[in-house]
Amino acid sequence: MTTARDIMHPRAECIGEDQTLIDAARMMRDLGVGALPICGNDQKLHGIITDRDIVIKCLAEGKDPRSCRASELAQGKPYYTDANADVDDVLRQMTQHKIKRLPVIENHQLVGMISEADLAQNLPEEKLADFVEAIKSGASDRTA
């Protein structure tokens, strides 16, 4: 059985809920990623912030990214999967919620992220094509 752990990108780093969007943008640049999990002071996952969120929900709204906090973009309950979840369960959840990135949790701690790129590297072409077709309209990095 292939698990979330088998296909995830390990060592995902969180942006703290009290950190600014400038901090998030710099972390994304330095890590070479387009999204970061938002972790709270309680060490729990509070959401995901994307580079697109920074542009659309901060800059385009005239907000200052030096004062806007990551917590302002952490809305609802985040979707995530257990590290031992079967890859078919991961696909089902990502498809159902139309999300392109999924945090991976083990023992209440973030251990990785699964993105479209991870799926592309680890899934048969047919499954990947079905996934892309299912989420192509309305895909996001939403929370519940």
**pLDDT score recorded for residue 127:** 84
pTM more than 0.95: no
Is the four-CA dihedral 121, 127, 133, 136 of positive or negative sign?
Answer: negative
pLDDT tens, residue by residue, 42-70: 878 889 999 999 999 999 999 999 999 99
pLDDT band at 133 (very low <50, low <70, confident <90, very high): confident
**pLDDT score recorded for residue 144:** 40
Structural domain spans, the chain: 4-135
Whether the pLDDT of residue 138 is over 70: the answer is no
Whether the pLDDT of residue 142 is over 70: the answer is no
More confident: 130 or 61: 61
**pLDDT score recorded for residue 104:** 95
Taking all residues of the chain, what is their mean pLDDT, rounded to a whole number?
Answer: 89
pLDDT tens, residue by residue, 96-120: 998 889 999 998 889 999 998 899 8
Fold for the domain defined by 4-135: CBS-domain (3.10.580)
Pairing of strands 81-82, 101-106: parallel
Output the 3-class SS for the chain. Answer: CCEHHHHCEECCCCEECCCEHHHHHHHHHHHCCCEEEEECCCCCEEEEEEHHHHHHHHHCCCCCCCCCEHHHHCCCCECCEECCCEHHHHHHHHHHHCECEEEEEECCEEEEEEEHHHHHHHCCHHHHHHHHHHHCCCCECCEC
Whether the pLDDT of residue 123 is over 90: the answer is no
Measured between alpha carbons, how far is 89 from 91 in angstroms, rounded to an integer? 5
